[in-house]
Amino acid sequence: MKILLMGPPGAGKGSQSAKLVKEYQLTSISTGEMFREAARNNEPLGIEAMKYIHRGDLVSDEITNEVVRKRLLESDAERCFLLDGYPRTVSQAQALDAMLLSMDSKLTAVINIVVDKEAILERMVGRRVCKKCGLTYHVSFKPPKKPGICDDCGGELYQRVDDQPESVRNRLNIYERKTKPIVDYYSGRGILKNVDGMQSFEEVYKDIINALGEVQ
Ligand code: ADP
Ligand code: ADP
Ligand code: ZN
């Protein structure tokens, strides 16, 4: 299984990806999470990426492609992976195709999670993330048992700098202009499936599993 999970920021990619990765033992490749982790560890990559991230801008294709290229070459990504948040531009999608081709590999499914614009802002503003393990919560839709504390690992929950309304607006704009065209890029290959993201966590998950069954 080589899956790509797409959709606007706040669509539920991270939440669904966490479940899928556990259930199917997939290697999770989330460029956003990789950048945030590099920033937490004060690595040069993280410091450079944060310059863009905190404004809600995209990190350059050059940096992002290189990070993914290295990750795909690691042994745990050879058979099964789930990409979340990459590619985000047509140029990244072309770069990914070239990388996979050179590895004699290709994507088996592209799942596009579709959500209403109004829901996105509410989801992002209420999102909280565990500092320690990266697990995602929502103050209303998926509250932790103890406020501010991760159920899973006891880590502290924080609000991402790019989940402030100012950055959110910019990210949605960028999504419309740069990322949405990728849907056209993949449609026509017979591996793209749209899933209604305006349902409960469980229903969205079920629909993703069904969609995967249809393309494999
Ligand atoms: P993405 O990775 O696409 O940006 P997330 O998985 O981080 O999205 O979800 C964004 C926010 O919305 C999180 O706070 C998450 O808990 C919440 N969320 C995700 N899916 C749903 C859903 N189906 N119903 C309600 N809230 C959701
Ligand atoms: P979300 O799912 O909420 O959009 P991500 O965690 O996927 O958030 O990404 C957070 C930020 O990291 C993006 O707004 C962008 O600045 C940067 N980023 C992540 N993936 C990419 C990518 N493929 N290309 C460029 N920038 C990226
Ligand atoms: Zn945690």
Q: Which residues contact 210 (CB under 8 A, 6 or more apart)?
A: none
Q: Is residue 157 part of a domain?
A: no
Q: Is residue 161 part of a domain?
A: no
With the most atoms of ligand 2 within 8 angstroms of its CB, the residue from 59, 86, 111 to mutate is 59
pTM: 0.94
Q: Is residue 148 part of a domain?
A: no
Give 57-70 pLDDT, tens digit per residue: 999 999 999 999 99
How many domains is the chain built from? 1
Euclidean distance between CA atoms 21 and 13, whole angstroms: 12
Q: Is residue 12 part of a domain?
A: yes
Q: Is residue 22 part of a domain?
A: yes
Q: Is residue 32 part of a domain?
A: yes
Q: Which ligand is nearest to the CA of 156?
A: 3
Instruction: Work out which ligand 1 atom sits closest to the CA atom of 85.
Output: 2
Euclidean distance between CA atoms 1 and 85, whole angstroms: 17
Ligand 2 in contact with 127 (CB < 6 A)? no
What is the domain range of residue 93? 2-115+174-215
Query: Residue 127 Cα, ligand 3 centroid: separation in angstroms?
Result: 14
Give 67-117 pLDDT, tens digit per residue: 999 999 999 999 999 999 999 999 999 999 999 999 999 999 999 999 998
- Above 80 in pLDDT, residue 216? no
What is the mean pLDDT of the segment spanning 168-196?
93
> What's the pLDDT band for 134 if we cut at 50, 70, 90?
confident
Query: Residue 58 Cα, ligand 2 centroid: separation in angstroms?
Result: 6
Q: Is residue 181 part of a domain?
A: yes
Q: Which ligand is nearest to the CA of 121?
A: 1
Give 4-37 pLDDT, tens digit per residue: 999 999 999 999 999 999 999 999 999 999 998 8
- Cβ contact 7:112 at 8 Å: yes
State the pLDDT at residue 118. Answer: 87
Give 40-60 pLDDT, tens digit per residue: 899 999 999 999 998 889 999
Give 146-173 pLDDT, tens digit per residue: 999 999 999 999 999 899 888 899 999 9
Euclidean distance between CA atoms 55 and 161, whole angstroms: 8
Beta strands in the chain (DSSP E): 2-6, 27-30, 81-84, 109-114, 127-130, 136-138, 157-158, 192-196
CATH code of residue 41? 3.40.50.300
Q: Is residue 156 part of a domain?
A: no
State the pLDDT at residue 147. Answer: 94
